[in-house]
Amino acid sequence: MQIQKAVRSLRAYPVFVTKSQVFEITDYSFLKNMRRSSCIQSDTFIVGGYEWAIEFYPKGDNMLANSESVAVRVRLINPTQDVEAVWTHCLRDWNTSEWSTGTPTSFDIKTFSSSGSIHYGHNLISRSNLEASKYLKHDKLMIKTTLWVVKKWRS
């Protein structure tokens, strides 16, 4: 994995627990009319002993600059301590059933804080590109999020 190769060059490197979760979004034509920064949330899932969810913002997110894009966030649910993680988001190609190449949102490990930021996100794709793409079909799309949660650090 690219992430593990990138961090092995560090003096201390993380040991990850990883899981992929698929979020199917239906009725996109209805959802795209939601207010900006309004989202729908996936069912929760467990990675590394923590509960997580995926948030989909069909009109973008006020915390992210581009209002012409759909945004996706990863949220730590009910944090009781700081948790470090890295993640990717991919879209399903309805013609081939394959997933787009997931690029880590950053090779920087983000800290989901019990007293601060509990979600991070990025603009996934412009709305116009999504609506003309192979990723939206029959008014639905699927997002696969792969989450790497740091369990411990090794030196």
Collect all residues with Cβ–Cβ distance below 8 Å to 53 and sequence separation of at least 6. 41, 42, 43, 44, 45, 74, 75, 77
Q: What is the pLDDT of residue 69?
A: 86
pTM for the complete prediction? Answer: 0.84
Residue extents of the structural domains in the chain: 2-154
**What is residue 51's predicted lDDT score, i.e. its pLDDT?**
94
The pLDDT value given to residue 5: 55
89-93, 109-113, 119-123: range with lowest mean pLDDT:
119-123
Q: Express each pLDDT in 17-76 by its tens digit.
A: 999 999 999 999 999 999 888 899 999 999 999 999 999 999 887 765 567 888 898 999
Q: Which of 45, 29, 54 is nearest to 131 (CA)?
A: 29
- pLDDT band per the 50, 70, 90 thresholds, residue 9: low
Asked if the 2-154 domain carries CATH number 2.60.210.10, the reply is: yes
Q: What share of the chain is helix, strand, coil (3-state, %, to 5)?
A: 10, 45, 45
Q: Which residue has the tokens 């759909």?
A: 70
Q: What is the DSSP letter of 108?
A: S
Structure tokens given for 12 = 């201390």
pLDDT band with cut points at 50, 70 and 90 for residue 107 = low
